[in-house]
Amino acid sequence: MAKTKTSKRRKKSGTKSLKAYVPFTSKELKDHSLVAETLLECIKTGDLGAFRDVLVSHLMTANKSKLAKKAGIGRRTLYDLLDPKKEFNPELSTVSAVIRALAA
């Protein structure tokens, strides 16, 4: 079998495809009690879209590992809530655990 010729030149990395990280910061979204209050209000009005928007925005600013441990749910569950490709249909136990962890 013949040897294949390999290029000695290094290829440039795809730095153009990398995106700059812009931290998502907001004082209101970091306030756990305000977020919990807003989530409860969304449940009262039956607005699932607003509930998801507030929850996702808060999870973007929060430490997901600490919140998952405090809520007693898996970290992967929180990441599943963030995933826009997946259907947003959390169980009641998941929602209550997250709200309880935020209110504590």
- The pLDDT assigned to 83 comes to 84
Q: Is residue 71 part of a domain?
A: yes
- The pLDDT assigned to 69 comes to 93
Q: Is residue 12 part of a domain?
A: no
Q: Is residue 86 part of a domain?
A: yes
- Where does the pLDDT of residue 1 fall: very low under 50, low under 70, confident under 90, or very high at 90 and above? low
- Per the prediction, the chain carries an average pLDDT of 82
Contact 75, 65 (CB under 8 A): yes
Mean pLDDT of 38-42: 90
Q: Is residue 19 part of a domain?
A: no
Q: Is residue 4 part of a domain?
A: no
The token duo for 33 is: 């009690």
DSSP string, 78-97: HHHHH-TTS-----HHHHHH
Q: Is residue 68 part of a domain?
A: yes
pLDDT: is 54 or 19 the higher one? 54
pLDDT tens digit string along 55-86? 888 888 888 899 899 999 999 988 888 888 88
Q: Is residue 54 part of a domain?
A: yes
- Where does the pLDDT of residue 17 fall: very low under 50, low under 70, confident under 90, or very high at 90 and above? low
Domain that holds residue 67: 26-103
Q: Is residue 63 part of a domain?
A: yes
The token duo for 79 is: 């990441």
Given CA atoms 30, 32, 35, 39 in this order, what sign does their dihedral have? positive
Could you give the number of structural domains in the chain?
A: 1
